Amino acid sequence: MAGSKFRPDRGLTARMVMTMVLLFLVYVAFVFGLVLAGLNIWLVLVLVAAFALFSYFSSDRIAMFAMGAKEVTPQQAPDLHAMVDRLCAMADMAKPRVGIADTDVPNAFATGHSEKSAVICVTTGLMRRLDGPELEAVVAHELSHVAHRDVMVMTIAGFLGIVAGFLTQAGLRFAMFAGAGGGRSNNSGPAPAVVALLVVVVSALAWVLSFLLTRALSRYRELAADRAAAYLTGRPSVLGSALSKITGDMARIPTRDLRQAEPFNAFFFAPAFAKKGFSMNQLIATHPPVEQRLAQLSDISRQLGRGA
């Protein structure tokens, strides 16, 4: 956040550092476990490194493609670009790329592995539902993710889960194939099916741990982004109004559209749930409860009213 006028958040910084340290330890244990399960260490390192580099450098393009979003120029979306320009000037930060996703799901997200690759994207459904100040408050929320660099941390943190998930599926398929073929290895070592099952167990444990760590960080970073946006714009009640509108209208979105959006909940301003009335356990939720977010914004509004 060097040079940015978004309020620094030591709690977020500490959590990001802790998450990265813990994920590094999980990563080391993950590689060690796969080697003990019988995989060649160089194969494991090459595979993990390849997935890491691909995820890191392609995260913004993958997210944009999956959401059907396209980068737009100032000529294509002059009002949105003017809004981002104004907020970036207020925050004293470099302007990220701007994108629009053609979907009725009312949402916004930020992605990218660095400030130079960062992109802020809003949906057409969001722009239709919010008035100017409300949309500006949501965009400020997303810009704070870039300024806080938590988008980069989430991108890095997410790659281990991708690798572990891939190896879990591959191991299960190989175990089924090896089990169907029967027999043991020619050198009296463990049967291929046993090795594959060990890979599945190690990968599944790594996936669960990385999943829980990134979910915990995701919940806190949303509260931090709400606070940063509220203080930057000086209108926390407007952000609260936008949040209430979005979560209220989410129930009116077709289930098919919500299911397509659900995999990216961790990056969204507000989560999309395919099942109406579905409430996630706090341990695995990507966002804090709406009531908690609104209560925090109300507290900030009172502080600003007192001149704090």
Q: Pick the catalytic residue: 71, 134, 136, 142?
A: 142
Please tell me the distance from the alpha carbon of residue 258 to that of residue 256, in angstroms, as a whole number: 5
Residue with tokens 């796969």: 34
Q: Return the H-helix or E-strand segment holding 57.
A: helix 41-66
Q: What angle do CA 27, 57, 102 make, to 5 degrees?
A: 115
Is 71 annotated as belonging to a binding site?
Answer: no
Phi first, then psi: give them for residue 30, nearest 5 degrees.
-60, -50
* Token reading at 93: 């930060």
Active site residue 115: no
- Per DSSP, the residues of 229-275 read HHHHHS-HHHHHHHHHHHHHHGGGS-HHHHHHHGGGGGGBSS---SS
> What's the distance, CA 291 to chain centroid?
21
119-123 and 69-71 strand pairing: unpaired
Count of Cβ atoms closer than 10 Å to residue 260 Cβ: 17
Locate all alpha helices (DSSP H) within 92-191, ordered by sequence.
124-129, 132-148, 150-181
How far apart are alpha carbons 185 and 163 in whole angstroms? 26
Alpha-carbon span 23 to 120, nearest angstrom: 26
Cβ neighbors of 281 (< 8 A, separation 6 or more) are: none
Q: Are 59 and 267 in contact (CB under 8 A)?
A: no
> What is the DSSP secondary structure assignment for residue 94, as one 8-state letter?
P
Q: Is 81 annotated as a binding residue?
A: no
Q: What is the dihedral of CA 166, 107, 127, 91, to 10 degrees?
A: -100
Q: How far apart are CA 13 and CA 115, in angstroms?
A: 17
Give catalytic residue positions: 142
Annotated binding site for Zn(2+): 141, 145, 222
Annotated binding site: 141, 145, 222
